[in-house]
Amino acid sequence: MSHIQPITELTEEEAMFKEMVEEFAREQIAPHVHEMDEKGEFSPDLIRQFFELGIMGIEIPEEYGGTGASFFMSILAVEALAKIDASAAIYVDVQNTLVNNAILRWGNETIKKKYLPQLAQEKLGAYALSEAESGSDAFSLKTRAEDKGDHYVLNGRKLWITNGAEAEIYLIFANINPELGYKGITAFIVERDFEGFSVGKKENKLGIRASSTTELILDDCIVPKENVLGEVGKGYKVAIETLNEGRIGIGAQMIGIMEGAIEAASRYAHERVQFGKPIVQFQAIQFQIAEAATLLEASRTLVYNAARLKDAGKVFLKEAAMAKWFSSVNAEKVTSRMLEIFGAYGYTKEYPIEKFYRDAKIGQIYEGTSNMQLQTIAKYLLFQK
């Protein structure tokens, strides 16, 4: 009988890479997690180390200064980081699955040569689609782009922009002709020092607190014509197809969070003594951990499957939505159950489990809410011809 390789089985190269990233996270990030979470600030030195480690340009070809690896490798890096700190994972996730991915797919050679080396080696990127009245209804955005001949002038405000405080290169969506509806939406690459661009309010969040989430302000922002990403009026396509890949990254964050929570609870269950013995010897505790581990493995299978389909060049829309929905719903459930194993201690900041719980919630909200994922799955299953 021939060997059937499980979806979650890693090649030697993949396993070594994942182990390398997790080791880095344990040694360099873990000592600072609590302080960064309390302050709501991520260490600039750690971001610099991400570039030195080569995990900010994983899919970027070597000719542009990147690693030249697969999308799946990006997913492994995000998972390994989220096991230690979800905020750290987000910086790497947005850079690879949204910003780099969009430029790799939609950028012309001039754009690739200009921006990919910067994104691979030194500059953080951000993806700016959401607005005050444009969340799940992404294409109702109000940001406008006016053609001025040799440049565009952008006006509007973006909200909930991940990496907004530290980024230097922004992928911003604006409408050049509101009368055309979503067919007027265009993607622009905006640099932090462009005239008329500024970073606004930074949000004070429940979880992933060290990851910056900000407002972006475009006040007669001047953007050169050559900084249009893809075709004019085809920004909706850039947005949709990039987010499909980004959702797999969110799934990777969620399985990393689950893994970290289960590991922490399992360790504590061996240490905590009640009724004269470690609580890990009680069947109720064993069953909770067993169920959590099963939900983690099922989530990992969906996430890995979607990532491998993407790398194989196959359709993965439904699989990405399933991976994000299932992993994010279960991340909240698993972290809650694992927190309960700690009893009252789990509700304090003395142990890391409460942070896993807080960090998990965002998975059901950003890059498409759970309801939007279910809608995507339903449309594909019921109306796809």
354 given a catalytic annotation: no
CA dist 242 and 185 (Å) reads: 15
Q: In angstroms, what CA-CA distances link 293 with 249, 271, 302, 337, 347?
A: 20, 19, 14, 11, 22
Smallest Cα–Cα separation from 214: which of 265, 165, 148? 165
Give burial (CB, 10 Å; 0-12/13-18/19+) of 314.
exposed
CB 218 within 8 A of CB 142: no
Task: Please identify which residue in the block is written with the tokens 């096991």.
Answer: 83
CA dist 184 and 174 (Å) reads: 8
The amino acid sitting at 93 is D
Beta bridge mates, 217: 157, 198
CA dist 208 and 241 (Å) reads: 25
Q: Which of 59, 166, 332, 367 is catalytic?
A: 367
The sign of the dihedral angle between the CA atoms of 58, 244, 135, 89 is: negative
User: Where in the sequence numbering do the catalytic residues fall?
Assistant: 367
